[in-house]
Amino acid sequence: MMRILRPIYAASLAVLILVSCGTTQTVTQTSTTPKLPQEPKPPVEALETLQMVAKKGDMTEAEIRAWPHMDIYKDSVPGMSLAKAYEFLNGKRGKTVIVGVIDSGIDIEHEDLKEVLWTNKDEVAGNGKDDDDNGYIDDVHGWNFLGGKIGEDNPEQLELTRIVKKWTPRFRGKTMETIAAADTTDFKLYAKLKKIVDDKSANAHNQVLQYSAIKDFIAKANDTIATSLGKKEYNVNEANGIILAEPTLMQGKMIIMRILDGGDTVPDALEQLTEIVDHYSNQLNAQYKVDFNGRVAGDNPYDINDKGYGNGFVIGSKETESHGTHVSGIIAAKRNNGIGMNGVSHNVQVMSLRAVPDGDEYDKDIALAIRYAVDNGAKVVNMSFGKSYSPNAEWVYDAIKYAAEKDVLLVHAAGNDGSDIDSAENFPNDSKDKLVEFANNVITVGAMTRHYDEKLVASFSNYGKKNVDIFAPGLEIYSTFPKDSYESIQGTSMASPEVAGVAALIRSYYPTLTASQVKKIIMESGIEYDGEVLLPGSETEKVPFKDLSVSGKILNAYNAVKMAEKLAKKS
C-alpha cells in the first residue's frame, strides 16, 4: 500500500516522495497463467472497437477527479467507461453484493460510506455476547484483527525485521565460519536482512533529522516574515522584500520562496513535511526497530489456532489511518447522493476487516480475515496490501483455497515497487512457484495513469507477464478520507478496488457467474493498448504494454458487463 505525496520544496530539493500507507513494501501479488474455463471468446462486436485517441491538453481538477470512470472513446482518457456500463444495465435488476475490505480499517461514520455498510443483523451491538455464535463478539460491521482501543492506530514492524528479531538470539556473534553447515541458508538470509534493517534504520534516522530541520527552518522563517508584514498570507515578492540576517532564517526564507513560486502554500508544505517526518519516524521507531513489539491483540500471532482475539472496533484511528476508508470509497461510496464522489458499484455492502497495520500484516490475521469474509457472505474481497516475506504463507494459501471452494473472488493489488513480480517475491499470492496457480479466484491488479501513451503504466506499479492479470486506474484517485473528507492519492492499492467494484457490479447483475468466470470476464473484456510504455522504475526503457500482464489489457466496466450478460445467458 502506498501513498504518493505532492511535491515539496525543501532547499534544493523539489522532489516527489513516495510514502507507504501501511507498508513500505506496498502490495504484492501473483496470479500466474490462468487456468480458466475454456469458454469461447465473445464476437468482436461485443466489445468496443472504435478508434481510441489520447486526450490533448490539460485536464481540469474536476476532470482529473473523475478520470477513472471516463470513457476512452468519448473522453480520450483511459477510464473504465462506467457511465456506459450503467446505461447498459439500466432497467435490469441487481442483487446486493457484500464486499469485504481487508485493510487498515474504515471510517464507518463517513457521510459517503455509512449508507453502504454491511451490518451483521444476527449480532446485537454492544451486549458483549456472540449472538450469532460465529466466534466474534459484537462484530456488527466486521472485525478488528489488530485489536486495541477505539481510535487507536497500530504501528508494526516489517516482516523482515521480525525475522531478524526472531533469529538474532540464534545467530548473534556468529560468522559463516562458526555456524553449523545445516544453518548456512538461514544465516545467509539473516545476514542479508539484518543489513537491510540496519541500513534502513540509519537512513530513517537521517531523514527524520533532515526533514525536521527543514520544517523548523520554514516555520521560523514564516513566523518572522508574517510578523514583519503584519499578515499570515503573502506572496513571493513580499517575502523577498523582508531582510533576514540570521542564516537559518534566510535559508527558511529561500525555501519559502521556492514553495510560493511553485504554486504551493507554506501551511500546505508544512503539512507535507509533517507527513514525511511521521513516515520516517515510524520506520525508525517501529518498522525497522528490532526490539519493537506492536502487537496489542493479546494473541500469539504465530499460532493459527489461537483465535477469538481482536474486537469490533473496525474504524481504527481517524487521525493516522486513511487507507481503508479511501479504498472503500473507490468501491462503493454512495452513488448520486449529491456529496463527495461516486463509488464504482451500487448494490454493495462493505464489510470492514481491519488487519493491515502501519507496517507489515501478519499472515494469521490475513488468513482469518479472508475466512471471516467468506463465512459471513462476502462474494468479493479487496486486498490492498502485501509484503516480500511470508513465514506462514501456507495459512493464507489455505484461506485462498477456502474462498475458492466457496466461490469468493479475491482482488489483490500488485504492489508499488516498480518490480517484475514474475521474479520478485510478493505475498500473498496464488502460486507457490509463480507458474502454476493453486486456485483460480485471485485477480492481481497493476496501476495505470490517465495518459493513453507511453506513460500509461504508473511508474511505481509492479508488473508481470505471468503474475499480474490486468491494469486499472491507480494514479490521482479521488476518494473518501476519514472525517467526511476526500483526497487524491495513488498506488496499486487504488487500482485493486476499481477492479473489485467492477467485479461486484458483475456479481450483482449476473449472480449465476462464478468467481473464476468473473475473473475471466474482467481480464478478457479489457481494452488493449498496442503501443510501448515506459517500464516501471525506468525513465527511458520502453516495452510493449502487452508484456506487463497476463491479459495485456486495461479495465473496462462497459465491456465487462456486456460480456457477462452473454456468458450468463449461456449458463
Q: What is the pLDDT of residues 294-316, one digit of tens each?
A: 999 999 999 999 998 999 999 99
Q: What does the block give as the cell for 171?
A: 545467530
Do 263 and 349 belong together in one domain?
Answer: no
CB 444, CB 30: distance < 8 Å: yes
Res 25: pLDDT: 33
For residue 380, the surrounding DSSP H or E stretch is: strand 378-383
Mean pLDDT of 32-60: 47
Q: What share of the chain is helix, strand, coil (3-state, %, to 5)?
A: 35, 15, 50
| pLDDT of 51 over the 60 cut | no
Residue with cell 507498508: 23
Do 556 and 508 belong together in one domain?
Answer: yes
Res 464: pLDDT: 98
Residue with cell 490462468: 34
Q: What percent of the chain has pLDDT over 70?
A: 90
Q: What percent of the chain has pLDDT over 90?
A: 88
d(CA 297, CA 260): 46
Do 207 and 305 belong together in one domain?
Answer: no
Mean pLDDT of 437-463: 97
Phi, psi of 175 (to 5 degrees): -130, 170
Task: Give domain status of residue 54, yes or no.
Answer: no
- Quick one: pLDDT band at residue 56, thresholds 50, 70, 90? low
**Residue 343: left if φ>0, alpha if ψ -120 to 50, beta else—which one?**
beta
Do 464 and 554 belong together in one domain?
Answer: yes
CB 483, CB 329: distance < 8 Å: no
Task: Give domain status of residue 292, yes or no.
Answer: no
Do 358 and 462 belong together in one domain?
Answer: yes
| pLDDT of 245 over the 90 cut | no
Phi, psi of 18 (to 5 degrees): -90, 130
Task: Give domain status of residue 459, yes or no.
Answer: yes
Taking Cα atoms as reference points, which of 168, 515, 558, 154 lies closest to residue 361? 154
Q: What does the block give as the cell for 525?
A: 473484456
DSSP for residue 71: -
Task: Give domain status of residue 294, yes or no.
Answer: no
Task: Give domain status of residue 47, yes or no.
Answer: no
Do 454 and 521 belong together in one domain?
Answer: yes
Q: For residue 35, how far is the Cα from the chain centroid? A: 26
Do 272 and 416 belong together in one domain?
Answer: no
> What is the number of residues in the chain?
571
Mean pLDDT of 409-418: 97
- Quick one: pLDDT band at residue 73, thresholds 50, 70, 90? very high
Question: What CATH number does the domain containing 378 carry?
Answer: 3.40.50.200
Considering Cα of 102, then 108, then 110, then 113, what sign does the dihedral take? positive
Instruction: Report the alpha-carbon angle 311-312-314, nearest 5.
Output: 110
| pLDDT of 140 over the 50 cut | yes
Res 58: pLDDT: 87
Mean pLDDT of 450-470: 97
pLDDT digits (tens, 9 = 90+) for 327-363: 999 999 999 999 999 999 999 999 999 999 999 999 9
State the amino acid at position 70 in one-letter form: M
Last residue in a domain, options 243, 258, 287:
287
CB 386, CB 426: distance < 8 Å: yes
Mean pLDDT of 442-466: 97
d(CA 11, CA 273): 13
d(CA 135, CA 126): 15
| pLDDT of 248 over the 60 cut | yes
Task: Give domain status of residue 56, yes or no.
Answer: no
Containing domain of residue 251, as a range? 159-287
Least confident of 54-68, 436-450, 456-470, 496-510: 54-68
Number of domains forming the structure of the chain: 2
Q: What does the block give as the cell for 53?
A: 485517441
Do 542 and 440 belong together in one domain?
Answer: yes
| pLDDT of 2 over the 80 cut | no
- Quick one: pLDDT band at residue 571, thresholds 50, 70, 90? confident
Do 344 and 255 belong together in one domain?
Answer: no
Res 52: pLDDT: 57
Side-chain half-sphere CA neighbours of 269 within 13 A: 30
Mean pLDDT of 429-452: 96
Last residue in a domain, options 256, 287, 318:
287
CB 445, CB 489: distance < 8 Å: no
Residue with cell 497493476: 446
Do 552 and 507 belong together in one domain?
Answer: yes
pLDDT digits (tens, 9 = 90+) for 109-132: 999 999 999 999 999 999 999 999
Q: What does the block give as the cell for 462?
A: 509492479
Q: Which residues pair with 18 in a beta bridge?
A: 4
Residue with cell 499472515: 363
SS3 267: helix
pLDDT digits (tens, 9 = 90+) for 312-334: 999 999 999 999 999 999 999 99
d(CA 208, CA 216): 12
State the amino acid at position 345 in one-letter form: S
Taking Cα atoms as reference points, which of 493, 406, 479, 388 lies closest to residue 445? 493
Q: What does the block give as the cell for 419?
A: 518490480
Res 459: pLDDT: 97
Using a 10 angstrom Cβ sphere, with 0-12 exposed, 13-18 middle and 19 or more buried, the burial of residue 385 is buried
State the amino acid at position 156 in one-letter form: E
Helix spans in 361-420 (H): 363-375, 393-405
Mean pLDDT of 196-207: 97
**Residue 15: left if φ>0, alpha if ψ -120 to 50, beta else—which one?**
beta
Q: Which residues pair with 487 in a beta bridge?
A: 479
Mean pLDDT of 82-95: 97
| pLDDT of 475 over the 70 cut | yes
Do 472 and 399 belong together in one domain?
Answer: yes
Task: Give domain status of residue 430, yes or no.
Answer: yes
CB 364, CB 301: distance < 8 Å: yes
Q: For residue 72, how far is the Cα from the chain centroid? A: 24
d(CA 521, CA 440): 13
d(CA 247, CA 314): 49
Res 55: pLDDT: 64
pTM attached to this predicted model = 0.89
Q: What does the block give as the cell for 113?
A: 460510506
Instruction: Report the alpha-carbon angle 348-354-358, nearest 5.
Output: 130
Res 54: pLDDT: 62
pLDDT digits (tens, 9 = 90+) for 515-531: 999 999 999 999 999 99
The per-type count for the chain, helices as H runs and strands as E runs, is 14, 17
Task: Give domain status of residue 53, yes or no.
Answer: no
SS3 378: strand
CB 402, CB 435: distance < 8 Å: no
Q: Which residues pair with 380 in a beta bridge?
A: 99, 409
92 CB neighbour count, 10 Å cutoff: 11
Last residue in a domain, options 229, 254, 287:
287
Do 389 and 497 belong together in one domain?
Answer: yes
Phi, psi of 349 (to 5 degrees): -120, 130
